[in-house]
């Protein structure tokens, strides 16, 4: 299965505030499955067009899934599709 893996987190970003880490896998955003950077961009754009202020972001770290409420502002991550 294709996944989107975080390879870097920008300091002072939403992702840094959440404690996201290198090698975390982005599972879903706003209840939409994420497999590529384009999926994530499309989901954020859809949330903006629906005037949502926050939406769930689900991350897999090891065997755990973590959920954060993020905004439509940039997450501040660099990610790689594998």
Give the structural domain span for 56. Answer: 4-81
pLDDT-derived band at 82, boundaries 50, 70, 90: confident
**How many structural domains comprise the chain?**
1
CATH number of the domain to which 39 belongs: 2.30.42.10
Q: What pLDDT digit, counting tens, does each position of 55-79 carry?
A: 999 999 999 999 999 999 999 999 9
Q: Report the C-alpha gap between 27 and 40 in whole angstroms.
A: 10
Q: Report the C-alpha gap between 10 and 75 in whole angstroms.
A: 9
> What percent of the chain clears pLDDT 90, i.e. is strictly above it?
94
Strands (E) across the chain are located at: 4-9, 25-29, 32-33, 55-61, 64-70, 77-81
Q: Report the C-alpha gap between 13 and 67 in whole angstroms.
A: 17
pLDDT, position 1: 65
pLDDT mean over 1-16: 93
């Amino acid at each position: 299965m294709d996944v989107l893996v975080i390879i870097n987190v920008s300091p002072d970003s939403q992702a840094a505030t959440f404690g996201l880490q290198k090698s975390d896998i982005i599972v879903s955003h706003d209840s939409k499955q994420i497999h590529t950077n384009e999926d994530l961009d499309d989901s954020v754009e859809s949330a903006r067009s629906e005037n949502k202020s926050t939406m769930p972001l689900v991350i897999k770290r090891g065997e755990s899934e973590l959920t954060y409420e993020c905004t439509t502002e940039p997450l501040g991550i660099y990610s790689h599709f594998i």
